[in-house]
Each structure stands twice: as C-alpha cells, then as structure tokens.
Amino acid sequence: MKLLGSFLLDFELISAKDLADVMVEQIRQTPNSLDIIYEKKLITPEQFLSIVTLQNDEHLDLRSACMRLDIWRNEFFDAINDEVSKRRSTLGRILVEKGLVEPHVLLPILKQYHAYRAENNNDFALFSENTLLDLSESEAEGSADELHFEPDFSHVQASDPSDYIELFSEEKEIELELIILAIEALGSDKNKADPEELLNQFFTDYHSLKGTARSVGALLTENLIHESEDLLTFFKRFLHKIHHADFAALAAINLKVLDVLSNLRNEMATSGSEEHYWRTPELKGKYLKTLGDIKRLNEELENRGYEVSLEDVQDLF
C-alpha cells in the first residue's frame, strides 16, 4: 500500500528532496504517543515508568509494551489520533503552504489516491466507494443498487466480546437514539441545538464503537459503522450546504443502523460471533438494505453537484 508521498512522486509533482523535507517537518510536529496518553491521564506515573523501561529493554512499540503490561485500552488510539491531528499539519497542507504544489493540481491527485486506498481495502481509507473530492462528477463507482458485501469470518479469531458489549450497553443505545432524535430535530426552524456539536458527538461515539468492534472481530458491526461514518463525514464537511430536510433522512437511516447494531450486539453476547446473524437470510437482507440506504443517501447528496473547495477537503490529506 503506497503512502501519499510515494503517490505524488509517481506523478512527478514533487522531487524526492522536497518530499523528504516536508516529511521531516511533519515528524518534528508529531507529538510522542506515550506523552499524549500520560498528559491525558490515561495511565498512571507508575505505568508510564513501566512502559518506558520495557520499551528501552526490549525495543517495543507503545502498543506492544502496553499489551505486555496488560494496560492497553482502545481509547488510547482515539486520544493519540486526536492529538496528532491537532498538532501535526498534513502532508498536502505543508506542500501547499510552501508553494511546492498548487491546490488545483493537488486535488485531482488526492481524488485518485483515496480511490486507490479504497480499492485496496485499506482500513484507514476515509471513503469506502465514493470520494468527496470532486462531487461535480456524478458517476460514482459502485452504485447502491449493485451492493456487494461478503464478510470473511474464517479470519476472525475467537475473542472475549465483553469490552464491546459493556461499551455498547443498553444505556448507550438509548443515549445514541436520543442523539439521533436530536439530529432529526435540526430540520426544525425552532431548534436551537448546535448541528456541528451534535454531529461531532455522534461521530465520536460511532468511532469508539467501531474501534472496539474491530478488536473483537465484529466484522459486520465495524463495516456498518464505517459506512455510517462516511455519511456523517459528508454532513460534517458540507454542513453549511445541507438542506434542513436532510437531517430527517440522516436520522431515519441511523435509527435503522442502530437497530441492526443492537441485534448484532445481542448476537455477539449470545454466541461471541456475528456469523449466525449473517447466515440468517432475513437478517442478512436487513443488513444489506441498511447499507444500501446509506449509500443511496450518499449518492443523492453527491449528485446535487456541490462545488468543493480546498478548505472542504484539506483534512483528507
């Protein structure tokens, strides 16, 4: 899997020296992961010292050291990623700021890069099938009417799903439902809630669930939340262009998503796997229809032809 820098070299947009200089600047801006989780009080001073000692003695990365000490938690990932995104400029932004690449030249390459990542099933691709970098093109790859998804349960290792079940408790489910209903109310002229705050809160909750689902091999849950995040990303990025009525559609779809996630959570609690759910035709059909609904709304929004500026997409690179 190529990184963005290699992609730009292939297109001869920058020289190897320019890329190296920019990457050095990025590295200098990147905070230390251990510092982050300690500063955020996610580990104790004693744990900090134990991690440093183990890393020094056995040359382990942070996650491996924490796993060895049995103190690793998935929220470490979120805290580290959040802090890095705040403190470190993206590769594309530095290139633009230094005048090494013009924005109008960079954007088409970024579109191809994210399509490349998605086609190669990269877990960190921001968009599964469609890219938001040029929404004037209505020819989306992979129509919602031609939905194909087939999870491979043979690679799922048995694990204790208790962490996920505890995180996605019935209380959490009710909390998510209330957020969805609050999103639905955003379409009302009388509503005073902050749309950005609501969407960010919902996205954060989804992201936490997805990370924990991945850790316990909940493939169906992880994929459904991933697709839902794509839709939320669209709303967050184009919030100033979204119609009020669209919030009702977003809420309706996420109520369906929440219902499916609840069923999947119960299946994990009962059997420790989602495979039985997938092998039940009625449930599989419900899952695929929900995925299709997400993609159809995404396509409908994209086909309105929103014009995308660099500010709309600068966080993608």
Q: Which domains does the chain have, with CATH numbers?
A: 4-107 (no CATH), 158-305 (1.20.120)
pLDDT at 221: 93
pLDDT at 117: 63
* Residues in the chain with pLDDT values less than 50: 121-146, 310, 312-313, 315-317
pLDDT at 189: 59
SS (H, E, C) 30-71: CCCHHHHHHHCCCCCHHHHHHHHHHHHHHCCCHHHHHHHCCC
pLDDT at 290: 93
pLDDT at 90: 77
Residue type, 204: T
In whole angstroms, what is the distance from residue 90 CA to residue 22 CA? 10
pLDDT at 184: 86
Sequence-separated (6 or more) residues with CB below 8 Å from residue 84: 30, 31, 36
Angle, helices 170-184/195-215, rounded to nearest 10 degrees? 150
CA distances from 102 to 7, 241, 311 (A): 16, 25, 14
User: Please, what is the end-to-end C-alpha distance for the chain in angstroms?
Assistant: 16
Q: Which of 142, 296, 308, 309 is nearest to 231 (CA)?
A: 296
Angle, helices 195-215/219-237, rounded to nearest 10 degrees? 160
- Asked if residues 302 and 138 have their Cβ atoms less than 8 Å apart, the reply is yes
In whole angstroms, what is the distance from residue 106 CA to residue 91 CA? 11
SS (H, E, C) the chain: CCCHHHHHHHCCCCCHHHHHHHHHHHHHHCCCHHHHHHHCCCCCHHHHHHHHHHHHHHCCCHHHHHHHCCCCCCHHHHHHHHHHHHHCCCHHHHHHHCCCCCHHHHHHHHHHHHHHHHHCCCCCCCCCCCCCCCCCCCCCCCCHHHCCCCCCHHHCCCCCCHHHHHHCCHHHHHHHHHHHHHHHHHHCCCCCCCHHHHHHHHHHHHHHHHHHHHHCCCHHHHHHHHHHHHHHHHHHHCHHHCCHHHHHHHHHHHHHHHHHHHHHHHHHHHHCCCHHHHHCHHHHHHHHHHHHHHHHHHHHHHCCCCCCCHHHHHHHC
Q: Supply 155's token pair.
A: 């690679």
pLDDT at 40: 92
Q: CA quadruple 291, 293, 296, 301: dihedral positive or negative?
A: negative
- Asked if residues 54 and 68 have their Cβ atoms less than 8 Å apart, the reply is yes
Sequence-separated (6 or more) residues with CB below 8 Å from residue 289: none
Sequence-separated (6 or more) residues with CB below 8 Å from residue 58: 65
